[in-house]
Chain A
Amino acid sequence: MHVKKYLLKCLHRLQKGPGYTYKELLLWYCNNTNTHGPKRIICEGPKKKAMWFVLTLLFTSLVCWQWGIFINTYLSWKVSVSLSIGFKNMDFPAVTICNASPFQYTKVKCLLKDLDNLMEAVLERILAPEPGHANANATMALNFTVWNYTPLVLIDERDPHHPVVLDLLGDNYNGSARGRVCNAQGCKVAMRLCSLNGTVCTFQNFTSATQAVTEWYVLQATNIFSQVPRKELKKLGYPAERLILACLFGAEPCNHRNFTSIFYPDYGNCYIFNWGMADKILPSANPGAEFGLKLILDIGQEDYVPYLTSTAGARLMLHEQKSYPFIKDEGIYAMAGTETSIGVMVDKLERKGKPYSQCTMNGSDVPIRNLYSSYNTTYSIQACLRSCFQDHMIQNCSCGHYLYPLPPGEKYCNNQDFPDWAYCYSALRRSVNQRETCISKCRESCSDTKYKMTISMAEWPSESSEDWIFYVLSKERDQRDQSNNSSISRKGIVKLNIYFQEFNYRTIQESPANNIVWLLSNLGGQFGFWMGGSVLCLIEFGEIIIDFLWITIIKLVAFFKSLRQKQAHARYAGPPPTVAELVEAHTNFSFQPDVADPGVYVSGQALPIPGTPPPNYDSLRLQPLDIIESDNEGDAI
């Protein structure tokens, strides 16, 4: 009861508003609003009124439309880009140096002995197909365990309808190929990859024998090296003191101890300068070659594994501190016998994360486990793609590929334990589907740093200085490492200068194009432009709507009341009401027609006061009495 009274009071207070009918409310609103259009509607004559009504409606819809556009623009999370170029004191990039050959041939010779013998035999067969050649007995000495897993075959396509497949070192080769000299036009060398104990086989075709034998050799070598533990492999590669002969950073001397060693399966031991993992990061404050990194390397070309790599040179890559160097993708070559000067400009792109773009800040929200995190390196898209590949490899072939890091508890593929792996791997590698899933899963990193390089080359050392430079360098190396006795020559020596250019950075930074201030000022601008409105006008409008609702509620209440009374009325059987009664009933809800027999009157309903009609002055109102009072107040204003 208490609550009802309170609510009623509230209702009355709210109701002390602009009017009691919709029309009054609207008139009041139009007259008093701060929005520009509605006032005109009521001030003007009938024709102008119509015009202003149409105009106001038009402007309102325009405002709504434009607001829609702005809110849409805001929700599209656009970014604007700011670009800055200049020179500043920056951290010198991390420099990774590798030798193009992963291992020293003198050290891996024993491991690769069988394979090399096979390779020589294969080459001999291909180049000199005439049988009955001198070293038939040499073929017997070959170790065929390696060969039998993935043999090379010769496909004779001179008869295009019946291609003949011949095992290059097989027993039937001599017999069937006798008298047929096959060259590159007629015959193709292919690799036979089998799975399920040799029951399902495919031939990987090559258009040239060079590729076929190279691919074959790399596959077999992978198989061999994957069985050797990583620690042993590190010893087989080029040691730092053999590779790095001299080092100078700015004016400060440095040596091979300033480099962090890392084992990169493609290139063996790689050495990273200024990686920033353990040591302090070195800054460079000046542009120019004098203040950069100067290196002299010896790649030892004579000690290359002959069949594994045909390209000789140093591999080099500049990258960010604490990021893993993917040298095979982004590295460049430095040629032996030359001085390579590299001017560096840091091209940095910093992006906003969600919701502006799909990039990831640290890779933690990417659904692929980063296998390179064991190196304590930061996330990069390459790391993600390779981890993804390794995941697929383990799923499909149940062993990991030698080139990528292993997840815990898995093993690298080799022929003994996983005889089908080569077949599985080559299928997976060519699978477009696999790559596309990886691409869709991996997301790029938000900050992306590229090092733009301006590369120039000159011959080094010059002919006149050649003698003393070689002498000094070999003397120095002998002091460090007695075991090595190879001489330093033009074929192995590489000089590198890496330095900042005059403008050493270009930073592209994203910032939100449309912030909330932008949105509000545009919304305000639109509302102001068309209708001269503001937020207060919106509040006004809201107020009016509340009033509107009140009026509706009050009307509904009255309507239902009348309905109930009418029902009560209907139950009463008697003569039809007279016109006067009807009028009375219409204007006064408390009115009950006189009845002939009051005894029939339904119990529970108050008896009307007989003879005296109810007060008629508020007959236009459906409200209870106290509201009428407020009306009187309104009149007084």
Chain B
Amino acid sequence: MAPGEKIKAKIRKNLPMTGPQAPTIKELMQWYCLNTNTHGCRRIVVSRGRLRRLLWILFTLTAVALIFWQCALLILSFYTVSVSIKVHFQKLDFPAVTICNINPYKYSAVRDILSDLEQETRDALKTLYGFSEMKSRKRREAESWSSAWEGTRPKFINLVPLLFFDEHATGKVARDFVTGRKRKVSGSIVHKASDIMHVHQSNQVVGFKLCSNDTSDCATYTFSSGVNAIQEWYKLHYMNIMAQVPLEKKINMSYSAEELLVTCFFDGVSCDARNFTLFHHPMYGNCYTFNNRVNETILSTSMGGSEYGLQVILYINEEEYNPFLVSSTGAKVIVHQQDEYPFIEDVGTEIETAMATSIGMHLTESFKLSKPYSQCTEDGKDVLVTNIYNAAYSLQICLHSCFQTKMVEKCGCAQYSQPLPKGANYCNYQQHSNWMYCYYKLQQAFVREELGCQAVCREACSFKEWTLTTSLAQWPSVVSEEWLLSVLTWDQGQQINKKLNKTDLAKLLIFYKDLNHRSVVENPDNTIPSLLSNFGGQLGLWLSCSIVCVIEIFEVFFIDSLSILTRCWWQKTKEWWARKQSPRCPEASLSRRGQDNPAIDIDEDPPTFTSALRLPPAPGTKMPGTPPPRYNTLRLEKAFSNQLTDTQVPDES
């Protein structure tokens, strides 16, 4: 006999009844347990004694449970990230640098538009604090501003009255600054005329009242200090007025690049106003962005240190400052990406005059993984808010856009300090008489997260961050002041017709401290291969199981068991049918038993030696009288109908 045949025979001997041929579920199970590759099952069958078997069943079940638990944990923790921090040393792109004068417009240019407002502000100051004259500003004295005042009716105060509240008295009493007329705020009227000069008492506050159209619905805003109140009040009216001025006129009223930048030096090479692009900010006027020119390559730095960065000397003309709008002097600078919108009012660094401000930068890039790892967005396209800025998506842009859109929806007009959405106009009294009230209401709702903007907007997935180290030094030094100022005056040439003062100038140095830049990158902690190998580890550890075992289990428990069940059921029906056809034959059921159990005695046969003595059948011998085992012919591969007819044959015979 050839070894191949031998092996085949051995296999046949070992596996007398393959899967589906096993006549009962129990045998199938036994067969499965003995032959499966999974380790626990075999023990169950092989073990002797009930306790041991029970223990093995328990162990196997525990192992299965553990596998399920551990695999569930693996799946649940699939979407986790690990963070890696890398340091690169390379040539770095220089960021865009936006520089603004804190004062938006030259006061001499904008004075005509704001003259009425200025008058009323002064008057309010006079009536409230007895302040009458700006001594520090010589130029103000030259212009007679009080002459025009007499004839005109105050329009701003009437629109949004500045009020003076006296909480000291019983009930709240407000006093109008201009008319001196008392207004009832809550309930009772107080007859005693309160003295204006008592502002310094702590329980007297200043504020203003905003009313909607019908004036029945009013909101009062109070401030602990008159400085805040007047600035807020002024700003409100200022926005109103400026909203009606066309953009071109505003750009002309503001500073030109040649005026703002006295000298410019980048990477050891001279630069000038042409290297800067204009960016008009509603609240800061003309701002200039360095290294942001369209269709030009982004400048890069290949050396660290202040010599190789941007050095500019700025001309801050303090005389042209608006006294009520801005109270500090200097410039604002912001470092940002080329396609990013510079939020000067939010994140700018302020620069002092007569100082050299040295800003050392350090670049950190962050990359987050978007869905399904986190909620961040790659480019903002999947965020429901339309981006009204002409810049790349950021969380701040989204929030501002969201607010602006809501503003247009609710109040019918757009807020001045943000860009215009399509088809909207900036708010002003003429068209939208109660916009201020609406705006303040909306602002409060926004802060309290009632508008849903914070919920809709999502952070951006990647961002660059420049960590700034700012330090100051005196500039120009005592000994170099004289020559430096005269040369700078010559440089400025015809832009101004006076000698520069050092308090009109500010020096700014922006540079990379070194060319190391860090990138913080999120990586998926788990990949499909590692998940599978973890599964494999768990399956192997507890049961020495593999995907083959899983297929086996599926095969045995579903396909084979089902086929056995179907067969049983089919035979039962057939029997039932046969009984129905021939009710005289009640023994039919016995023959069925014979098929289930080949060792059973069948009464019809004449008793043999073994059956008579009820001895167990000799192993390996065929039972006399029992139909020859046809199991081998029962293959799962065959159609069930065929098999059934096969099995039926001995029954009938």
A residues touching B (Cβ–Cβ < 8 Å)?
A: 18-21, 23-24, 27-28, 31, 36-37, 39-40, 42-48, 55, 59, 66, 69-70, 78-81, 83, 100-101, 105, 123, 126-127, 183-185, 205-211, 213, 301-302, 304-307, 309-313, 326, 328-330, 332-337, 340, 349, 351, 357, 359, 381-382, 385, 429-430, 432, 435-436, 439, 442-444, 448, 450, 453, 455, 457, 491, 508, 521-533, 631, 634-635
Instruction: Compute how far the CA of A210 lies from the CA of B8 in the bound complex, rounded to whole angstroms.
Output: 100
B85 touching A335 by the CB < 8 A rule?
no
7 additional A-B residue pairs with CB within 8 Å, beyond A36-B546, A100-B477, A525-B537: A126-B490, A183-B493, A209-B491, A310-B476, A313-B472, A357-B86, A528-B539
A454 to chain B, nearest CB (A): 10
User: Bound state CA distance, A20 and B3, in angstroms?
Assistant: 8
Q: Would B3 and A19 count as touching, CB distance under 8 A?
A: yes
Per the bound structure, the CA–CA distance linking A344 and B502 in Å amounts to 33
Interface residues of B in 315-366 (CB under 8 A from A): 355-356, 358, 360, 362
The smallest beta-carbon distance between A355 and chain B, in angstroms, is: 15
Query: 1/0 contact trace for B478-517 toward A, CB 8 Å?
Result: 1110011011101111100000000000010001011110
Of B37, B91, B487, the residue contacting A436 (CB under 8 A) is: B91
Complex CA gap A101/B15 in Å reads: 97
Q: Check B270–A208 contact: CB distance below 8 A.
A: yes
Residues of the A chain whose Cβ atoms lie less than 8 Å from the Cβ of B11: 31, 42-43
Q: Quick one: given A333-B473, A522-B530, are A211 and B3 in contact (CB under 8 Å)?
A: no
A209–B268 Cα gap in the complex (Å)?
15
User: Which positions in B face A, CB cutoff 8 Å?
Assistant: 1-4, 6-8, 11, 15, 18-19, 35, 37, 82-87, 89-91, 262-265, 268-272, 302-307, 313, 355-356, 358, 360, 362, 469-480, 483-484, 486-488, 490-494, 507, 511, 513-516, 518, 527, 529-530, 532-537, 539-540, 544-549, 551-552, 635-637
Picked from B18, B82, B358, the residue with its CB within 8 Å of the CB of A332 is B358
CB contact between B270 and one of A185, A211, A333, A429 (< 8 Å): that residue? A211
Docked complex Cα distance between A184 and B476 (Å): 21
CA distance A320 to B548 in the complex (A): 60
Most buried by A among B85, B356, B477, B511: B477
Which residues of B are found within 8 Å of A55, using beta-carbon distances?
548, 551
What residues of chain B lie closer than 8 Å to A101, measured between beta carbons?
477
Closest CB in chain A relative to B239 CB, distance in Å:
34
B-chain residues with CB within 8 Å of residue A450 when the two chains form the complex: 362
Chain A hits for B529, CB < 8 A: 66, 69-70, 522, 526
Q: Which residues of B contact A351 (CB under 8 A)?
A: 87
Q: How distant is the Cα of A349 from the Cα of B548 in the complex, in angstroms? A: 47
Q: Among the interface residues A48, A127, A333, A429, which one has the most CB atoms of the partner chain B within 10 A? A: A333
Partner of A36, one of B19, B37, B269, B479: B37
- Cα distance, A345 to B307, chains bound together (Å): 26
Q: How far is the CA of A477 from the CA of B476 in the complex (A)?
A: 27
Give complex CA distance A294, B87 in Å.
33
Report whether A530 and B536 are in contact in the complex, using a CB–CB cutoff of 8 Å: yes
- The distance in angstroms between the C-alpha atoms of A69 and B518, with both chains bound, is 28
C-alpha gap A105/B551 in the complex (Å): 91
CA distance A357 to B519 in the complex (A): 14
CA distance A206 to B490 in the complex (A): 14
CA distance A70 to B479 in the complex (A): 68
Task: Tell me if B87 and A349 are in contact (CB < 8 A).
Answer: yes
Which residues does chain B contribute within 8 Å of A521, judged by CB atoms? 533, 537
B623 smallest CB distance to A (angstroms) = 26
How far, in Å, is A104 (CB) from chain B's closest CB?
12
Smallest beta-carbon distance B74→chain A, Å: 11
Check A531–B546 contact: CB distance below 8 A.
Answer: yes
Min CB distance A103 to B, Å, is 13
Query: B488–A210 contact, CB under 8 A?
Result: yes
Residues on B with beta carbons closer than 8 Å to the beta carbon of A48: 636-637
Known: A184-B492, A453-B469. A532 touches B540 (CB 8 A): yes
Determine if B475 and A312 form an interchain contact, defined as CB atoms under 8 angstroms apart.
yes
CB <8 Å contact, A210 and B313:
yes
CB pair B268 A527 closer than 8 Å:
no
Asked if A332 and B469 sit within 8 Å, CB to CB, the answer is: yes
Do the beta carbons of B483 and A307 come within 8 Å of each other? yes
Is the Cβ of B478 less than 8 Å from the Cβ of A36? no
Which residues on A sit within 8 Å (CB–CB) of B637?
45-48
List A contacts of B540 (CB < 8 A): 524-525, 528-529, 532
- Give A55 to B270 CA distance when docked, in angstroms: 72
**A and B contact pairs by CB, cutoff 8 A, 10 listed:** A55-B548, A211-B263, A304-B479, A313-B473, A349-B87, A526-B529, A528-B536, A528-B546, A529-B532, A532-B37
**Alpha-carbon gap, A51 to B493, bound state (A):** 91
Query: Would B35 and A81 count as touching, CB distance under 8 A?
Result: no
The answer to whether A430 touches B269 (Cβ under 8 A) is: yes
Contacts of A328 in B (CB 8 A): 305-307
The answer to whether A210 touches B544 (Cβ under 8 A) is: no
Q: Report B-chain residues with C-beta under 8 Å of the C-beta of A634.
A: 3
Q: A306-B479, A455-B470 are in contact. Are A526 and B548 (CB under 8 A)?
A: no
Assembly CA distance A302 to B474 (angstroms): 13
Interface pair B4/A23, CB less than 8 Å apart:
yes
Quick one: given A326-B305, A333-B358, are A45 and B635 in contact (CB under 8 Å)? yes
Q: Across chains A and B, which 3 residue pairs bring their CB atoms closest together, nearest first?
A: A529-B536, A525-B533, A532-B546
Instruction: Tell me if B2 and A304 are in contact (CB < 8 A).
Output: no
| Closest CB in chain A relative to B532 CB, distance in Å | 5
Contact status A529-B535, CB under 8 Å = yes
Residue of B nearest to A105 (CB): B479
Given contacts A59-B547, A70-B533, A105-B479, contact A210 B7 (CB under 8 A): no
A436 neighbours in B (Cβ, 8 Å): 91, 302
Asked if A430 and B490 sit within 8 Å, CB to CB, the answer is no
Q: How far is the CB of A285 from chain B (nearest CB, A)?
A: 26
Looking at the assembled complex, report how far the CB atom of B529 sits from the nearest CB atom of chain A, in whole angstroms: 5
Contact of A443 among B1, B89, B494 (CB under 8 A): B89
Expressed in whole angstroms, the Cα–Cα distance for A44 and B555 within the complex equals 12
A100 and B548 in contact, given A183-B494, A207-B271, A529-B539 (Cβ under 8 angstroms): no
User: Are A66 and B487 in contact (CB-based, < 8 A)?
Assistant: no
Asked whether A336 and B474 contact (CB < 8 A) given A307-B480, A444-B87, the answer is yes
Please, which residues of chain B bring their CB within 8 A of the CB of A44? 18-19
**Assembled-state Cα–Cα distance A429/B269 (Å):** 10
Which residues of B are found within 8 Å of A382, using beta-carbon distances? Answer: 304, 514
Say how far A456's CB is from chain B's closest CB, in angstroms.
11
* Minimal Cβ-Cβ distance residue in A for B635: A45
Contact among A43, A508, A533 with B35 in the assembled complex (CB-CB below 8 Å): A43
State the CA gap A583–B18 with chains docked (Å).
Answer: 42
Asked if residues B536 and A301 are in contact (CB atoms below 8 Å), the reply is: no
Q: How far is the CA of A126 from the CA of B489 in the complex (A)?
A: 11
Q: Residue of B at shortest CB range from A55?
A: B551
- Contact present for A81 and B84 (CB under 8 Å): yes
Take A43-B35, A302-B479, A336-B474 as given contacts and tell me if A126 and B547 are in contact as well, using a CB distance cutoff of 8 Å: no
Please state if A526 and B536 are interface contacts (CB–CB under 8 Å).
yes
Using A211-B263, A432-B302, A527-B536 as known contacts, say yes or no to A306 and B480 having CB atoms under 8 A apart: yes
A443: chain B residues at CB < 8 Å are 89
Least CB distance from B30 to A in Å reads 15
Is the Cβ of A435 less than 8 Å from the Cβ of B303?
A: yes
Q: Which residues of A contact B262 (CB under 8 A)?
A: 208, 210
Are the CB atoms of B18 and A43 closer together than 8 Å?
yes
A188 → B minimal CB distance (Å): 9
CA–CA, A387 and B85, complex, Å: 29
Question: Which of A83, A444, A529 gathers most chain B CB within 10 Å?
Answer: A529
Complex partner residue of A429 from B268, B530, B539, CB under 8 angstroms: B268
B470 and chain A: residue at smallest CB distance: A455
B487 touches A448 (CB 8 A): no
A27 close to B8 (CB less than 8 A): yes
A28 CB to closest chain B CB (Å) equals 6
> Do B532 and A526 touch across chains, with their CB atoms under 8 A apart?
yes
Q: Say which residue of B1, B19, B268, B493 sits within 8 Å of A185 (CB atoms).
A: B493
Least distance between B501 CB and chain A CB atoms (Å)? 16
- CB contacts (< 8 Å) of B269 on chain A: these are 430
